[in-house]
Amino acid sequence: MTPPVPVTILPGPPTSARRAAPPVATVSITAVQDLDVIVESTECSCDAGDDNPH
């Protein structure tokens, strides 16, 4: 018979999976050549949703 194997129960995910907002301009004007970088970032987009062709 196989002896029992010890199992470590790891803590679950945090209550909130929110991410921090990206750095923002405070004193100057900063060019953003490709707005996708911020629009499609995880701060305001969905990791899983891009698997959703229809």
Partner 1 sequence: MAHALIASPFLDGHLLLKPGARAGARISADHYEGLRQTATDGGSLPTWAVQTAADMWGLDLDGQTAQGTVLVREPSSYGYCRASWEINLGCNFGCKHCYLGERPFSGLAWEEKVRLLDIMREAGVLWLQITGGEPTMDPDFQGAYRYAWQAGMMLTISTNGSLLWRPDLLRLFRDCPPYRLVVSMYGASEESFDTLTQRRGAWKAFRRGMDAAREAGLPLRINVVVTEDNASEADEMAALAGEWNVENHAYTNMTPTIYGGGEPLLAQSATHLRQRKPFAGCNAGHTFFHADPHAKVSICKVGRDDQIDLMAEGIDGLTRLGAIADRLMLRTGGCEGCALSGTCRVCRPLAKHYQEAKAPLHSYCQHGDKENAS
What residue ranges bind partner 1 (CB under 8 A)? Answer: 7-13, 15-19, 21-22, 24-36, 38-39, 42-54
- Shortest reach from residue 40's CB to partner 1, in Å: 9
Spatial CA neighbour of 37 closest among 49, 23, 53: 23
Q: What distance, in Å, lies between the first and last C-alpha atoms of the chain?
A: 51
Give the span between the Cα atoms of 54 and 52, in whole angstroms: 6
- Shortest reach from residue 50's CB to partner 1, in Å: 8
Q: Considering the complex, state which of residue 2 and residue 30 has its C-beta at the smaller distance from partner 1.
A: 30
Whether 42 and 19 have beta carbons less than 8 Å apart is answered as yes
- Shortest reach from residue 1's CB to partner 1, in Å: 22
